[in-house]
Chains A and B, each alone.
Chain A
Amino acid sequence: MRERDVTQDLRVPWEEDPGELYEHAPCGYLTTTPDGTIVKVNETFLAWTGYTREDLIGLRRFRDLLSSGGQIYHETHYAPLLRMQNDVHEVAFDMVCADGHRLPTLVNSVLGRDPDGLPRLIRTTIFNATERRGYERELLNARRAAEDSERRVRVLQEIVAELAAAPTETGVAEALVRAPAPAFGASGGSVWLTGARPGELVAVSATDQGVSEAAAAEVARRGDLHVVGAPEEADGQLPGLAEAMREAGRATVVLLPLTTGPAADDADVRGVLAFGFAEPRRLSDSELRVVRLLGQQGGQALDRARLYDAARQREERAILLAATTREMDEEPRLTARAKRLVERLVPDVAEWASVRLQVGPAGLLAESGGPAPDADLLTAQIEEVTTAGEALWPAAGSGNAVLPLVVRGRVLGTLALRTGAEPGFLIDLADRAALALENARLYEQERAVARTLQRSLLAGTLPQDSRFVVETHYHAAAQDLEVGGDWFDAFMITPDRLAIAVGDVVGRGIDAAATMGQLRSAIRAVASADAGPAKVLKKLDRFVDRVISARMATVAYCEVNLASGTMTYACAGHLPPLLHEPATQARYLMGARSAPLGSRAGRRERVEDKVKLASGSRLLLYTDGLVERRNRTIDRGLDLMAREWARRRDAPTTGLASGFADLMVGQEHADDVCLLCLTLGTDDRMERSIGADPMQIALLRKEMRAWLASHQVDEESIQGVLLACSEAVANAIEHGYRNDPFGQVEVSATVSAEAVEVVVADRGVWRPARTDVARGRGLQLIRQVMDHVSFDRSAGTVVTMRRTRKGDS
């Protein structure tokens, strides 16, 4: 094989004419002078551009064939570059063809120079770049589309994130209405949500008025995406839409159902998103895909928000129910509990609420809020509900719900409300209310039984004796508590021995009342002439070991020997008896203390103590309700009680106990109060011997006042007797013993049903009264206040005075 000479052109099988090659080369050739004037052009260029040689040669410059932008580029880049570097490659120019259309080209030029280096001519090749430009444009469009798509996806992502974060339907709607502007360049949007009833559509958020609600409702019904390109397209298709579009100046409107899934899956429509464009707008397939996706995301977000709303409402309802039940439980009494219920429901649940209960002859009514509905209608409704045991629901949006309050199949009453709350919740509410009210009713019933039992147990007659007076008082708590276990008793052990007791059983209600009765009987059974308080308590301990409910009961137990004027007492965990003897301070008997009955931890060794009781003494046994207050210590309570007890030293025994209870606790007291007052030594005779000291007279008066009071002597007689007695004693001291500071004045007094008689005797020296006007006044006073007065001056002076008692004290 011969070596090929590549320096030579290959010989082709036909004749290649160089002129032919120039004229019909696959590119255009132009030869121009340095100023661009065309001097030579080939046929290819003329064919492309539609010019003739006559149009161009010597007449036109290269730049004259360029578009105006190309001409500028030619001036600023092409020509300077060519001059500097003698060639220019692949410059894109649009040639303006003879018919005016533009031919995209790529241009290469070479500048030829003469031997002196001056520009001689420019050779230019022109390649047709039509195809390439199209390709570039496509690339550009594709990039722009990708960017649009990315932007839409980004907007969509943001919207989806917002939708996910929106906790309520309104929040979801607001996120949706903001979406179309950034995603599609829409001029605004509106959102409607489907309502509770089928076909109902509620506008919740709008920044655009270009869509009619009727059209949105129709789209919601159809469940398909609607893109309306012009108002005319809407005519006859979607009601009211064409008018709305024209009015708002919308050329294109999109109505998008918000569905819980792809439309093909028969998804539920939760609402409609509509948006519009002022200019006609065609949505690309990818845009439509994004629109549909937005519809699904929106629908699902609405579903979530609805579930969330429902869950939150359920939680709120549960909290409300629990709070209502708890608040009702705080009120043990039926009336108060019913009142608490209706007050709790208004205004949180209802504008007006009323509870009617069929208890007692008159029934019970608690009402709150207003205005109350028509009474006749309500009565009829209540009757219907009570008979049928079925709730009556209000007609849509107005009227009352009336629910039966049913416990164990029995209609206890009705709960009527004006409310928008859902039936399920109201039924739950009525159930709980019924149970709480029934419990209160049972409580009332038990309370009444317990009270009756307690009253009957405490109602036994108290011993009557001329030597003492026993007064008792039982005061039930003003607040709504069950009956307490406070009790008292007084009985004769022997004709000369009186037993008194006050106690407190732990607990409340029927059990406490019954236990109290047992304990009382037990004390009566074990008390005997030779037992005494310590032994009685010991036996009670054994009793309590068998009667568990009496464990830790407290008792103050006293036995009074009426013959000797002594008292033996013992306190088992109980507050100390309060003793007031004539002419002394009131004092608490703090001895003989031991633990409550049946106590395991306390000191169970039972002790007793003995005190001498002066005639006229007053003893108070009581339960803690008398002294205990939340706002003060028990010590202060006891101090106060001792003072008050001393102040009532001279009060008549009748009504003493109840009066003292009122004084100590008032009407509004929180606990039961039980007290027993013993007034002793109501002897019909009183004897005192006092020194010749005026200070002694006051003490005598005090003692005598108490003694007279204990005999129910009327106040006027008491004042008279005390005055006469004082004057007689003063007379004895001032005159009889004026020279004898150690003289004694003997005073003896007797009281009978008819009269009081006082004898005052001294052994002093009598001095006629007439010499002393002032003393004479004292004698005069004695004569005035006493019905009968006599003086015996045989040995000292004996004044005998008598005053007849008034009828009833």
Chain B
Amino acid sequence: MNNVAFARRGPASVVTLSGELDLANAPLIGKAIAGNVGDDALLIDLTKVSFLDSAGVRLLDFIVGDMDDRGRAIRLVVGETGAARMTLQLCAFRDDLLSTDLEKAAAELGA
């Protein structure tokens, strides 16, 4: 799938999403993430996401819940502006989850 990319950064997995994340592709992206990240901290970079709907929010919510349950750290990186930030703010995601800076978020995860 061309709008999901995986990388590692120290102890954290980094998932970079790009393009639109919506009802049409959220399930596939969810499966791709589940199959590619390890049992460690997770960084999801949403700065290149041009659209995020509630299906995408549902997916991110699920992933955050799962990580919390397993006691693993997670950060979502969003731009200062943009579709992802707008939707996530509208859905009132916790401030401690969001970051605008990939480097800072990675540092917080100890990466």
A residues whose Cβ falls under 8 Å from a Cβ of B: 694-695, 697-698, 701, 716, 719-720, 722-723, 726-727, 730, 733-734, 774-775, 777-778, 780-781, 784-785
A431 CB, min distance to chain B CBs, angstroms: 65
List the 4 shortest-distance A-B pairs measured between CB atoms, nearest first.
A694-B24, A778-B54, A694-B23, A730-B23
Task: Give the contacts of B48-71 with A (CB-CB under 8 A).
Answer: 51-55, 57-58
| Any A CB within 8 A of the CB of B18 | no
| Any A CB within 8 A of the CB of B107 | no
Are B20 and A723 closer than 8 Å at their CB atoms?
no
User: In the docked arrangement, what's the CA distance between A324 and B54, Å?
Assistant: 73
Collect the chain B residues with CB atoms within 8 Å of residue A701's CB.
20, 51
User: In the docked arrangement, what's the CA distance between A719 and B23, Å?
Assistant: 16
Are A694 and B22 closer than 8 Å at their CB atoms?
yes
* Given contacts A694-B22, A697-B22, A698-B20, A785 and B53 within 8 Å (CB-CB): no
User: In the docked arrangement, what's the CA distance between A313 and B111, Å?
Assistant: 75
| Any A CB within 8 A of the CB of B91 | yes
B residues whose Cβ falls under 8 Å from a Cβ of A: 20, 22-24, 51-55, 57-58, 83, 86-87, 90-91
Collect the chain B residues with CB atoms within 8 Å of residue A730's CB.
22-23, 53-55
A173 CB, min distance to chain B CBs, angstroms: 79
Are A726 and B83 closer than 8 Å at their CB atoms?
no
22 contacts between A and B (CB under 8 A): A694-B24, A697-B23, A698-B22, A698-B24, A701-B20, A723-B51, A723-B87, A726-B23, A726-B51, A726-B53, A730-B22, A730-B23, A730-B53, A734-B23, A774-B58, A777-B54, A777-B91, A778-B54, A781-B53, A781-B57, A781-B87, A781-B90
A549 CB, min distance to chain B CBs, angstroms: 50
Are B53 and A778 closer than 8 Å at their CB atoms?
yes
- Write the chain B residue with the least CB distance to A775: B54
Collect the chain A residues with CB atoms within 8 Å of residue B90's CB.
780-781, 784-785
User: In the docked arrangement, what's the CA distance between A698 and B26, Å?
Assistant: 13
Collect the chain B residues with CB atoms within 8 Å of residue A694's CB.
22-24
Are A719 and B54 closer than 8 Å at their CB atoms?
no
* Given contacts A719-B83, A785-B90, A774 and B22 within 8 Å (CB-CB): no
- Write the chain B residue with the least CB distance to A784: B90
Are A720 and B23 closer than 8 Å at their CB atoms?
no
* Given contacts A720-B86, A781-B90, A774 and B54 within 8 Å (CB-CB): yes
Collect the chain B residues with CB atoms within 8 Å of residue A784's CB.
90
A786 CB, min distance to chain B CBs, angstroms: 11
User: In the docked arrangement, what's the CA distance between A711 and B87, Å?
Assistant: 24
B44 CB, min distance to chain A CBs, angstroms: 18
Are B24 and A697 closer than 8 Å at their CB atoms?
yes
Collect the chain A residues with CB atoms within 8 Å of residue B58's CB.
774, 777
A722 CB, min distance to chain B CBs, angstroms: 7
User: In the docked arrangement, what's the CA distance between A716 and B81, Å?
Assistant: 9
A726 CB, min distance to chain B CBs, angstroms: 5
A576 CB, min distance to chain B CBs, angstroms: 30
Collect the chain B residues with CB atoms within 8 Å of residue A734's CB.
23
- Write the chain B residue with the least CB distance to A774: B58
User: In the docked arrangement, what's the CA distance between A781 and B22, Å?
Assistant: 14
Are A723 and B55 closer than 8 Å at their CB atoms?
no
Are B24 and A695 closer than 8 Å at their CB atoms?
yes
Collect the chain B residues with CB atoms within 8 Å of residue A722's CB.
51
User: In the docked arrangement, what's the CA distance between A150 and B7, Å?
Assistant: 100
User: In the docked arrangement, what's the CA distance between A781 and B51, Å?
Assistant: 13
Collect the chain B residues with CB atoms within 8 Å of residue A774's CB.
54, 58
Which one of B20, B22, B53, B55 has the greatest number of beta carbons of chain A within 10 Å? Answer: B53
A719 CB, min distance to chain B CBs, angstroms: 6
A-B contacts besides A698-B51, A716-B86, A723-B53, 17 pairs, CB < 8 Å: A694-B22, A697-B23, A698-B22, A698-B24, A701-B20, A701-B51, A719-B86, A723-B51, A727-B53, A730-B54, A733-B23, A774-B54, A777-B58, A781-B54, A781-B57, A785-B86, A785-B90
